[in-house]
Every structure is written in C-alpha cells, then in structure tokens.
Amino acid sequence: MKMPAEYLACPVFELTYPTGETAESVPVVAYTDALQAVEAALADAERYKYLLMRALRRSAPIVAQQYPELPALLFPEPGTDTRVLPLYPHNEQAA
C-alpha cells in the first residue's frame, strides 16, 4: 500500500503569512491536485478491497449454506367465513 504522501505527485507549498514568515508546518497543495490524489487513493482502495475479498473467498472452506426453516403461512380455506368488507359505504364508492 502507498503512503498518503505518495499519492501527491505535485508541488507542495509551505503555508506563509502575508509578511513572508512561515506559519505552522502545514503543507499546502492545489485543490485539483488534492482531488486527483483522493480519487487515486479511492481507486486503490477498491482494488485492494477486491483482492482481499477474492483471497477470502479462495481460502474459505466450502460448506453448504443452511437456511433457517421458515414457518408456512396459513391461508384461509375458500368458502370459510372470511369476508372482504368495503372501505366506503355503497353510496360513496366511485364508479
């Protein structure tokens, strides 16, 4: 894996005050350069994630996956006393 600074292939400036004296030791880069570095780091992270998942799949023991047994849904028998009631009175129903 790369170190974070290795993604920045651009000039790095030191932060200075308007008087010319250097401020805290904070590196400053251009926005577009920082954006490119972040995009490259994210692309590498996706690649490393893919390689890690592939290695995990290859090294995992092959075991038949078992699913829990779900209870069957009981539906009422046709002709029993389960009626469908309308939501609205008969005179208010739309045509």
Model pLDDT for residues 46-58, shown as the tens digit of each residue: 999 999 999 988 8
Q: What is the rounded CA–CA span in Å between residue 14 and residue 24? A: 8
Q: What is the pLDDT of residues 82-95, one digit of tens each?
A: 667 777 777 776 65
The reported pLDDT for the residue numbered 7 is 83
Q: H-helix or E-strand containing 28?
A: strand 22-28
Q: What is the pLDDT of residues 5-45, one digit of tens each?
A: 788 878 777 777 777 777 776 778 888 888 998 999 999 99
Q: How far is CA 67 from the centre of its chain?
A: 26
CB 5 within 8 A of CB 29: no
The reported pLDDT for the residue numbered 93 is 66
Report yes or no on whether pTM surpasses 0.75: no
Q: What is the rounded CA–CA span in Å between residue 5 and residue 29? A: 11
